Copies of this chain bind each other. A is one copy, B any other.
Amino acid sequence: MQIAVLLYPDMTALDAIGPYEILSRLPGAKLTFVAREAGPVRTDTGFLRLEAEAGLDELSAAEILVIPGGPGDEAVRADPRVLEWVRAVHETTRFTTSVCTGSLILGAAGVLAGLPATTHWTQLETLRALGATPSPERVVEAGKVITAAGVSAGIDMALRLTQILVGDDFAQGIQLGIEYDPQPPFDSGSPAKAPTHIVDLVRATMAR
């Protein structure tokens, strides 16, 4: 099963690595990190480079496509070459997925027109402007398009996709294998739960 994960400069690493850690363990998985050109891609903090094994020209079809998010999504949305690739690969997929603002790239590629979808909570209105119907849900399924909310939501999305593709037992096994029994120190992971002054702080920090 060919899985393609797009990499691009100033992306958020966990958006890609969460789903990778799960989907790469599916039976028969062949997971390929793809970027505009093969080679190292620096992520948004400036401290990490992930290696793209393939350039866009080297992979034109996939059963699963994963588009991560991050501040670099804006440059990607302005890059017709990458958007064309996303559209073309989407035509071949069994599932097209995104994490965080990766859905804005799907939107810019025209993949989300009229579909319910989600993104990082600060970018729901941008998602609407790109033709989707924004949802505050953590994982949104719309036919073969599955979008996840901010950064860490890619883990939940990939487990759900595993459940769909392989079944409950396998998905539970993966969840236990990565010991995903979350115990965050606060119940503040969504704007509906965090204190107002924290929501305002993060919104200001992440304003574009």
- Interface size bucket, A side? 35 or more
Contacts of A47 in B (CB 8 A): 20, 24, 29-33, 53
Q: Contact at A184–B180, with CB atoms within 8 Å?
A: yes
Query: Cβ of A165 < 8 Å from any Cβ of B?
Result: no
Chain B residue nearest in CB terms to A50: B50
User: Given known contacts A12-B21, A14-B21, A50-B51, is B184 in contact with A205 (CB within 8 Å)?
Assistant: no
Identify 4 new A-B residue pairs, CB closer than 8 A, beyond the known A13-B20, A31-B45, A50-B51.
A138-B181, A171-B186, A172-B198, A175-B189
Tell me, in angstroms, the Cα distance from A29 to B47 when the chains sit together. 10
Query: Cβ of A182 < 8 Å from any Cβ of B?
Result: yes
User: Given known contacts A20-B47, A178-B150, is B13 in contact with A183 (CB within 8 Å)?
Assistant: no
Chain B residue nearest in CB terms to A138: B183
